[in-house]
Amino acid sequence: MTEHIKQIASRIKELRELAEITPETLAKEFEMSLALVLQYENGEADIPVGYLYKVSHKFGMPLTTILSGEDPKLHVFSVVRKGKGIEVNRRKQYKYENLAYSFIDKKAEPFIVTIEPSDESKTVEFNSHPGQEFNYVLSGVMKILIDDHEIILNEGDSIYYDSGHKHAMRALNNISVKMLTLIM
């Protein structure tokens, strides 16, 4: 794993330890295996944004602080120039760019998400996290799976859903998808 992932992993472990919560308790609360929680905390596995979002809410820590190690400071507005957001590359097929990393007390986390094409015969990894999510497709065509539903979204389409339900996305037609995502 990269040094950046190891730093994020270390911050997550430190938050848990400061709260005096065992890895077993966290695994049970997040409904996941203890082995996976430990892999995330040791920087041995890609850490999904959904997991980071759960940690952020659990410990009352801004997602930006977990990602960067720095607290957001801006209160009135925050400008992020094209391509200058904080990148979160947690899974091979997904790339996240946080568009409001320096704004404090956000009501939502905005991202530009790029989904790379993958072998359609392989199973997708599902994710879930507290809150709601909005996706607006900027380019490409994607399939989003929410529980047992499959929805195809084209450029200009959007979807709003309860992100506590298991969900996954896949780029179609062997072309990358770019979308605006708000996690609330």
Decide if 112 is inside a domain. yes
Q: How many domains does the chain have?
A: 2
Is the pLDDT reported for residue 111 higher than 90? yes
DSSP for the chain? --HHHHHHHHHHHHHHHHTT--HHHHHHHTTS-HHHHHHHHTT-S---HHHHHHHHHHHT--HHHHHHSS---BSS-----TT-SEEEEEETTEEEEES-TTBSS-SSEEEEEEE----TTSPPPPB--SSEEEEEEEES-EEEEETTEEEEE-TT-EEEEETTS-EEEEE-TT--EEEEEEE-
Of these ranges, 82-86, 127-131, 156-160, the one predicted with the greatest mean pLDDT is 156-160
Query: Residues 139-171: pLDDT tens digits?
Result: 999 999 999 999 999 999 999 999 999 999 999
Decide if 76 is inside a domain. no
Q: Are residues 95 and 62 in the same domain?
A: no
Decide if 75 is inside a domain. no
Query: Residues 45-75: pLDDT tens digits?
Result: 888 888 888 999 899 888 888 888 888 888 7
| Domain ranges, residue 160 | 86-183
Q: Are residues 159 and 97 in the same domain?
A: yes
Q: Are residues 120 and 157 in the same domain?
A: yes
Q: What is the pTM of this model?
A: 0.76
